Chains A and B, each alone.
Chain A
Amino acid sequence: MSEVTLTVNGREVTRDVEDRTLLVHLLREHLGLTGTHVGCDTSQCGACTIHMNGKAVKSCGLLAVQADGSDIVTIEGLANGDTLHPMQAAFRENHGLQCGFCTPGMIMMAVDIVNRHPGGLDEQTIRKELEGNICRCTGYHNIVKAVAAAADEMSGVAMAAE
């Protein structure tokens, strides 16, 4: 057992967990943050994608103790109160989700993609960057549209803030 301390969605939490506990299980089972999902065993579907210290990682691919001391943001922490994050809003506005199961991971990855491409995103880049996230419902068409729309919105927000 190890004691793990994390900042999750802005709140510091400490839990005693077995060393073999994956980060995703700490989030889901110990913290009740069930928005982060598990869709495969080989870290390929991306449904468990979260942000660790500002970067997208697959929370099924690391032990909770590996994340000790880090800053975690999950889908539950993305919105600002009642105000949706532009990526969340764009997924809704562009019908970028159907069953919703891959959606949290998709949105967390999409935010990371936009963060890493401050100069803007074309369709081909978005498709390429989504290679670690699998959706079975949408055929990706509207996900790509949503990411592009949010990227525009987010860069507009960033420019306005400067």
Chain B
Amino acid sequence: MGIEGIGARVLRKEDRRFITGKGRYTDDIVERDMTHGVFVRSPHAHAKVLSMDTAAAEAMPGVIGVVTGQQLIDGAVGNIICGWMIYSKDGSPMKAAPWKVMDPEVVRHVGQPVALVVAETRAQAADAAEKIVIEYEELPALTDFSKAMDDGAPQVHEDVPNNLICDWQLGEEAATDEALATAAHVIELDLEQNRLVPNAIEPRAAIASYNEAEDHFTLNSTSQNPHVARLVLSAFYNIAPEHKLRVIAPDVGGGFGSKIYIYPEEITCLWAAKHLGRPIKWVADRTESFMTDAHGRDHVTKAKLGLDADHKFIGLKVETTANIGAYMSLFSSATPTYLYACLLAGQYTTPNIYCNVKLVYSHTTPVDAYRGAGRPEATFVVERMVEAAARQLGVSPAELRRKNFISEFPYQTPVLMNYDKADLHGLLDKGLAAIDYDGFAQRKAAAAARGKLRGIGFSCYIEACGLAPSKAVGQLGGGVGQWESAEVRVNPVGTIELLTGSHSHGQGHETTFAQVIAERFGLPTDNVQIVHGDTDKVQFGMGTYGSRSGPVGMGAIAKALDKIEAKAKKLAGHLLEADENDIVIEGGELKVAGTDKKLAWHEMTLGAYTAHNIPDDMEPGLSEKAFYDPANFTFPAGTFICEVEIDPNTGVTQVVKFVAVDDFGVIVNPNIVEGQVHGGLAQGIGQALFEACHYDDAGQLLTASYMDYCMPRADDLPNFALDHIETPNPNNPLGVKGCGEAGAIGAPAAVMNAVTDALGTEDITMPATPEKVWRAIQANRPAMAAE
């Protein structure tokens, strides 16, 4: 590699603007003649809207207008879509009830928007919003989704009986039942996936404007995927045809999934900008974010793992109920099904796996993909079961895993996935060494001497990311393809603009993507500018989520670079009077191998543009575009080992050691990859110990600010010890696998396995708050005393 090529710790190019306050986030943008929008939201979880009177609000100072849901319906604005069709085990399609942008008749979760007030200032809009008089008839709400299917439970949507959207399955039930029936040991656990709120620190925001003279809309928005936003705004919400709508996602302050979706607010603001004739800025406050950003996780699961007498896993049966919330968000059907059940083999050779998922509505905020999306849930089930099995059988959790590891690749799992390559033993070996596993007993004794309970827990995850082969996505019910695009524009002087359909909202693409080019041509990364996040500049792209920018986004770049390289070599061969096959590009020069003949990169690029001396069959210029559709998912894997210490008097759990050994294939920039892991681990530890979204029985959101929703702080977290194995991905042009979600996928099980190890009970749910831990200790006291 060159000093700025693949594998180099290049400092981020984008940082300078962020550390000097020159970032440009949506709320930093001011449009000429801009107004401010404030949404009126339902205070009830479930109610009929009997009447709405906007007259007093419209008469308030500074008010430009009020937009209601009925106006949107009258304006032919379409309903919000779910983008992935799944089928129940009886073959019937999922029952997705209509999601009106601002339903004028019924509200189904607290915070559902019912009107938009637009005024000259935000304060005026907020003042006027309070003057809208709405008469509601409150109805019973369903917030405990484990009771969603009970007879007599409140119904979220009329046409979805028992709130059951889909009764979905994967795998062979009969074979799995038979395996469990013959098993020497059967381990059973009831598991919960706590509901989480993504909490990007930049709240969602939008600025919608309409140019009447050109009949053209522009939306600046906090989006992870501006092209997909434009596509659905055009095709489903009838805002404008794609060529009449520009979507820009400028600097975006974190996403974690929550900024994939196209929400009622952007749609309403766009429609209102034309209707009212003024640009409108809307910025969520934090409580609005809590009430309306798609939440994550929220499962209850019963799982059974069967082992034979030799402790080989022979069957895994998983029955899950997944809370979808009040409406089906874009990926809400795929997240708890294909992105979950397909990963239930984990790292093991379990031959029989069956999973049933019941997707249910409730009167809560919609739930969708949040960092990891289905895979943290799957990893939690598998790794909690394996750890519990080791304990019940009295064997080493490391050796039980080793005994069941997949060791020959490619490996076809019983749940659709075909793992390409991994070194599972290598990962575990490195993890054991890094944590000093042999020294644990001593550390546990030392902790006991200090009055602390010390526990250790493993999580050996494998996940599928790099979403995804478009044909496979289509076969499984996805509504779009999941390739990526890239365009490499080489300028006459040799500098390069790279246009990518990936979107960076913290991932450092401006640096890593430039490194890929630096590697190929030996150019400094300063000579490369990354262009992204603007539908007028980049032709199309699927955006950034599912750890896809590395494997898929960079895959597209690699393909475009192949074309640039081929043309550059051909031109250089022509200019140097050599065979193009003898041209090598290195250090910013094109050389004829084995001779001293060479051209500087910029001499070649200038030649391409002057076109005074190019081959007869060659077009002038040097600019190439590529679409890359991956051949398979990618399969990062890793071993996480966590050690905790618990204060038995208060129940406070402290993560004292955390080792993460990952295999992400080829690593383009170790700084950035490590940063991704750190952040993912923090979110995973947050899920395990700190974060929980609570609704009361009436459907009120009790955790609607940082006063009540616990965000992990610096002093809640340890230093992380990271290591890597690089087994290049055989199916990817650059050998990369993707790293954005691994930390969040693997960490919750590692932490909970450590907590349950320390406590000597499996009976505790996430987050393991001090009170829950203390109660577990109280409940378990006689057993502990007897030891």
Contacts and interface: CB of A to CB of B under 8 A. Distances in A.
Interface string B287-312: 10000000000000000000000000
A34 B707 CA distance: 26
Given A37-B25, A131-B714, A92 B201 contact: no
A97 interface: yes
A84 B16 CA distance: 9
Interface residues of B, number: 56
A40 B706 contact: yes
A153 interface: no
A116 B199 CA distance: 30
A51 to B, nearest CB: 13
Interface string A136-152: 11111111100000000
B256 interface: yes
A91 B671 CA distance: 12
A154 interface: no
Contacts of A75: 19-21
Contacts of B23: 35, 100-101
B749 to A, nearest CB: 17
Contacts of B735: none
A145 B717 CA distance: 14
A28 to B, nearest CB: 8
B706 A33 contact: no
A162 interface: no
A33 B30 CA distance: 12
B717 A134 contact: no
Given A41-B705, A88-B20, A141-B678, A100 B506 contact: yes
B710 to A, nearest CB: 10
A76 interface: yes
A104 B201 CA distance: 12
Q: Which of B28, B202, B705, B707 has the most CB of A within 10 A?
A: B202
B500 to A, nearest CB: 17
Interface string B185-208: 000000000000001111100000
B14 A41 contact: no
B160 interface: no
Nearest to A104: B21
B21 A76 contact: yes
Looking at chain B's contact residues, the main secondary structure is loop
Interface in B325-368: none
A72 interface: no
B21 A20 contact: no
Contacts, number: 182
A161 interface: no
B85 interface: no
A139 B682 contact: yes
A102 B21 CA distance: 11
B561 to A, nearest CB: 26
Interface string A118-130: 0000011011101
Contacts of A59: none
A42 B705 contact: yes
A92 B9 CA distance: 12
Contact of A141 (B672, B711, B719): B719
Given A39-B201, A41-B705, A128-B715, A101 B25 contact: yes
A143 B714 contact: yes
B285 interface: yes
Interface stretch (B68-76, B102-110, B137-145, B247-255): B247-255
Given A37-B202, A103-B19, A139-B682, A42 B707 contact: yes
Interface string B663-681: 0000000011011001111
B307 to A, nearest CB: 35
A101 B21 CA distance: 9
A124 B12 CA distance: 27
A107 interface: yes
- Of B251, B256, B675, the most chain A CB neighbours within 10 A belong to B675
A92 B10 CA distance: 11
Interface string A72-83: 001110110000
Contacts of B683: 136, 139
B720 interface: yes
A45 interface: yes
A8 interface: no
A85 B711 CA distance: 29
B197 to A, nearest CB: 11
A45 to B, nearest CB: 6
B111 to A, nearest CB: 14
B283 to A, nearest CB: 8
Interface string A84-120: 1000100111010111111110010000000000000
A99 B200 contact: yes
A36 B20 CA distance: 10
Contact of B714 (A74, A93, A127): A127
A118 to B, nearest CB: 21
A99 B253 contact: yes
Interface string B702-732: 0001110001111101011000000000000
B32 interface: no
Interface string B100-142: 0000000000000000000000010000000000000000000
A134 to B, nearest CB: 5
A123 B719 contact: yes
Given A93-B11, A99-B200, A45 B679 contact: no
A120 B505 CA distance: 34
B22 interface: yes
A99 B202 contact: yes
A96 to B, nearest CB: 9
Contacts of A18: 123
Most buried by B among A41, A75, A101, A104: A101
B562 interface: no
A92 B714 contact: no
Contact of B123 (A20, A41, A123): A20
A5 interface: no
Given A39-B202, A41-B286, A44-B706, A91 B19 contact: yes
Interface in A22-74: 28, 33-42, 44-45, 47, 74
B543 interface: no
Given A40-B706, A95-B12, A104-B21, 16 more contacts: A18-B123, A36-B21, A37-B253, A39-B286, A75-B19, A75-B20, A95-B671, A100-B19, A100-B23, A102-B253, A134-B711, A136-B682, A138-B679, A139-B678, A139-B680, A141-B719
26 contacts: A37-B25, A37-B201, A38-B27, A40-B706, A41-B286, A42-B707, A44-B705, A44-B706, A45-B201, A74-B21, A75-B19, A76-B20, A76-B21, A95-B674, A97-B12, A98-B254, A98-B679, A99-B202, A99-B252, A100-B19, A101-B23, A102-B201, A103-B19, A126-B714, A135-B201, A140-B678
